[in-house]
Amino acid sequence: MIKIFSRYTFLLPLLFSFNVIANEGLNLDLAILKINQEVKSLNNEILSLKDEIELLRENQRLNSEKITELLQMIEINQSGNTKSVQSNSTEQGTKSSKFFSDGKNAFVLGNYEKSIELFLDHLKTSPSPLSSTDTMLWLGRAYFYSESFLDSKASYLEYQSMGQDHPKFADSLYELSKVLMKLDESDQAKLLLNELITEYPDHPLSSKASALLQNL
């Protein structure tokens, strides 16, 4: 009984308002108007709470990805990359790889400006098209968190133009849709979210895409 009562405590202001109006002998139209205003206010509060919950869930997902990346970095460092490099091409590849790994380290630690700088250095020196694809994805993420949304959009589009075979392509659809929403390009964002839901129905982000569509 107590639990049932507690679940509906938010209605008490409405009941109180109605009771006061009735006791004061005010007309019914005014009473209904007052209650409608209270309901509208409560609905706005509920919508605000939903947005906050979605933001918390998204931050949780990204923090989980950051932890995974950090653990991978620790494993790489512990594996002992201490072999001497003989050829100039190998030295170039090693230097380029370090730019990329350092860029991800900076991103995980929240230093997005530094990570952008390192990812751009990696693109200039990378001998591998595949690693360049990875870098464009991370560059899009870093630009997003530094609130450089136009640069983020360009990076994600460049990444997606490199082909749909990359394992994070579905993720990029969801992430780019968030960028487009920041740029007030909701129609394009909807297209990407629908593509994610249709083409990757079993992907973990598919349900998030559906929820996001409801708010557009």
pLDDT tens digits, 27-75 = 666 767 777 777 777 777 776 666 566 656 666 666 666 566 655 555 5
Residue 216 is classified by DSSP as -
Percent of residues, the chain, with pLDDT higher than 90 = 40
Judge if pTM exceeds 0.75. Answer: no
Question: Using alpha carbons only, what angle is made at residue 98 by residues 172 and 87, rounded to the nearest 5 degrees?
Answer: 125
Range(s) of the domain holding residue 5: 1-54
Give the tokens for residue 99: 């730019």
Residue 146 lies in a domain: no
- CB under 8 Å to 160, separation ≥6 — which residues? 169, 172, 176
| E strands in the chain | none
Contact 98, 117 (CB under 8 A): no
Residue 42 lies in a domain: yes
Residue 13 lies in a domain: yes
Residue 22 lies in a domain: yes
Domain count across the chain:
1
Length of the chain: 216
Residue 79: strand, helix, or coil:
coil
